[in-house]
Amino acid sequence: MKILFIILAFLILSNCASQTPAGKIENDAARPKPTVNNVNNVNVNNWKPIQNEANKIDENKHKGLDAQNEKLRQVPDEFIKIDFKNFKYPYARLKNGEYIEERKNRSGGITYSFDDVFFVNLNDDKKKEAVVMLYAVSCGGSCDGGKSIVHFYSSEKSKPKLVDWIELGSRSNGCSLKSLKIIEKKIFIEQFGRCSRTPRYEENRVYSCKFCVKDLTSSVYIIKNSELFREASEEIETSETNVMNYFAEISINE
């Protein structure tokens, strides 16, 4: 009887030991798995944008430029009655600084947002023009990272008159804004990509990521006789950079 009891106890202990690995596997299977982007094999839970010279933000430099630009945000008398946050642009009417254009029969849409406005003399009439910047983000299956649209308005009898606007490319499609500088009535715009044909042109090339792009385009614009002209444009060969979170440099001087 004693021998039978010992054998029975041994069998019970063996069975429990054999169940431990199976129980551990079952518990592990119940734990949530990390989300993985199979295209780029990236763990989304720990994802960070690629850091390179294109998207490193020099906070002190941007603060200095913003302080420099601040005096040119002061509204002159000829624009005192104009509220560019509640304003009808050629393609959208902003209300409280925003307009959402929904796509019919399709998901997503375009969100237009007021970004900034500067008042600077760009013509020979000794009056200031308004340089109004909007930001537009287009989303469908995914979003395009946004694009800048730069408008130039003159004033006639305290009413705004559109001179022209420059619609730049988006972060994901190329020709996005790298920098905008205004010096002595000339407008200097740098863009990521090959954009000398039009401000939104980018030749069909394959890059290593959605927001990666090669080369730079530098263009010079002037306003003459109430018209906007592109005076010069140059494409510069560079290595590929990721511009997903790039913070454009804005520098306005009279």
Per-10-residue mean pLDDT of the chain, 254 residues long, equals 44 42 31 30 33 57 83 94 96 96 80 97 89 95 92 92 96 94 96 91 78 94 94 94 90 86
Amino acid making up residue 246: Y
> 88 CB contacts (<8 Å, ≥6 apart)?
94
167 class by beta-carbon count within 10 Å (0-12 exposed, 13-18 middle, 19+ buried) = middle
Indicate the helix (H) or strand (E) that contains 189: strand 186-192
pLDDT of residue 56: 55
pLDDT of residue 119: 97
Structural contact between residues 241 and 53, judged by C-beta atoms closer than 8 angstroms = yes
Gyration radius from the chain CA atoms: 29
User: Whose CA is closest to 161, among 247, 117, 227, 69?
Assistant: 227
74 Cα distance to chain centroid: 26
Tokens at 53, concatenated: 């010279």
Residue 63: left if φ>0, alpha if ψ -120 to 50, beta else—which one?
alpha
pLDDT of residue 45: 31
In angstroms, rounded to a whole number, what is the distance separating the alpha carbons of residues 207 and 232?
27
Q: Which residues of 37-67 are buried (b: 16+ CB within 10 A; e: fewer)?
A: eeeeeeeeeeeeeeeeebbeeeeeeeeebee
User: Whose CA is closest to 118, among 79, 165, 148, 166?
Assistant: 79
pLDDT of residue 24: 28
In angstroms, rounded to a whole number, what is the distance separating the alpha carbons of residues 54 and 12?
66
pLDDT of residue 23: 31
> 194 CB contacts (<8 Å, ≥6 apart)?
174, 175, 201, 202, 203, 215, 217, 235
Q: Tell me how many degrees the CA angle 217-223-224 measures, rounded to the nearest 5.
A: 130
pLDDT of residue 57: 57
